[in-house]
Amino acid sequence: MLCLVEIRGALAQGANLKTDPARRGARLLYEGLKSQYQMIAFSPEDAEITNWWLKKEYMAEWSLIKPWDRDVFAYYHEWIEHEVGIFLASGWEIALYVDTYGEAIERIQAKDVTTMQLHYPAHGPGFYDPEKPPRAWATLAGEPGGTNGPG
């Protein structure tokens, strides 16, 4: 069975694989999916850059990497939807499609494919508002769930 993954949002932090790192936890997600499925990657970049990025991020074992065909499709997710249709028409069983873009998820679901939509936090772990001063430790420790609190 196949697992189709859109690299740009699901694994990479942005669309530019030349500069953008992997998302936090992306490799764990990749390893878990790879252990169960034949992996197909959709990428906005050409195959050479995509392969380089995947090797750099230790996610290099894919059954197939499909770079976006910009000459035929002007819209990235329209191209992905078309490619999913080709896999289905060829008789492949798609176990899962993974993406962050809600409209693409809905369109792939309409083809009777199970989907996983990932939502990542807008701010990374440990984010704080630089406009506000940090709270004193004594205040934090006294809150429910703190070291001295009743939680």
Domain ranges of the chain: 2-142
Cβ–Cβ < 8 Å for 97, 84: yes
According to DSSP, the residues that pair with 66 across neighbouring strands are: 42
- The string of pLDDT tens digits covering residues 128-143 is 666 777 777 777 676 6
**What digits encode the pLDDT tens for the residues 60-82?**
999 999 999 999 999 999 999 99
CATH superfamily of 2-142: HAD superfamily/HAD-like (3.40.50.1000)
pLDDT band at 149 (very low <50, low <70, confident <90, very high): very low
